[in-house]
Amino acid sequence: MMCADPFALGDVVDAFTAGGIEWLHIDVMDGRYVPNFTLGPDYCRALTKACSIPLDVHLMVEEPERHVDLFTAFSGVRVSFHPETVRQPVRLIERIREAGGSPGIAIDPAMTVDACAHLLPLVDQVMIMTVNPGYAGQKLLPFCLPKLTRTRQLLDEAGASARIEVDGNVSWVNIPAMIQAGADILVAGTSSLFVNGRVEVAAIARMRCLAAGKPELVG
């Protein structure tokens, strides 16, 4: 949703509703973990009043345990954080679940999936970042694609059911490779769905066709 033109937000939400988008992806940035500032709880509250699509909150912040309660208050919310930003990630995962949210972890390009293997059975989604977090419109880091496959391998070995989310340059060109590598959920931004901050329902249909009905779509 950071890609949406704020002056066209109603039109964007209407397009997502008409196109059956399953989640609204909210990038929360604090200017510390990443060099950018973005969306917060007031924005999330406005979205939940405007439509019934649940939120997929991505906390790109230091000390996410200080902020997580602001987001678990939303019904059906998914909250993912970067495990290296918190001293006790297991406790934070438990806290999100106890608050009624769906916990997830986000894996930065600089971090290996194996470093987080012990957390995979504890979460509902694993977000693989295929660009450096912080800004829209970046190019794919090709070495991140095998992380999707490795995540699937580790989940299968652990008998875990977490879904694999991919975030970063989810473009018309890259989507097939991402799905083939193991992605279940696509976080779509300026590389595909958004053009000048707006979204056409036809673009959502195109993405569903390209994805062959396998992953969910996240706007």
Domain residue extents for the chain: 6-218
d(CA 43, CA 15): 18
Please tell me the predicted confidence (pLDDT) of residue 210: 82
Instruction: Please confirm, yes or no, whether 5 is among the known catalytic residues.
Output: no
Closest CA to 113 of 158, 144, 157, 79: 144
Catalytic one of 5, 14, 27, 42: 27
Please tell me the predicted confidence (pLDDT) of residue 137: 78
**Structure token digits, residue 106:** 């986000």
Q: pTM of the predicted model, to two decimals?
A: 0.93
| pLDDT one-digit tens code per residue, 104-151 | 999 999 999 999 999 999 999 999 999 998 777 789 999 999 999 999
Percent of the chain with pLDDT strictly greater than 70: 97
Q: Residue for token digits 């209407």? A: 14
Catalytic one of 30, 56, 108, 167: 167
Please tell me the predicted confidence (pLDDT) of residue 213: 57
Instruction: Please confirm, yes or no, whether 167 is among the known catalytic residues.
Output: yes
Q: 6-218: which CATH topology?
A: TIM Barrel (3.20.20)
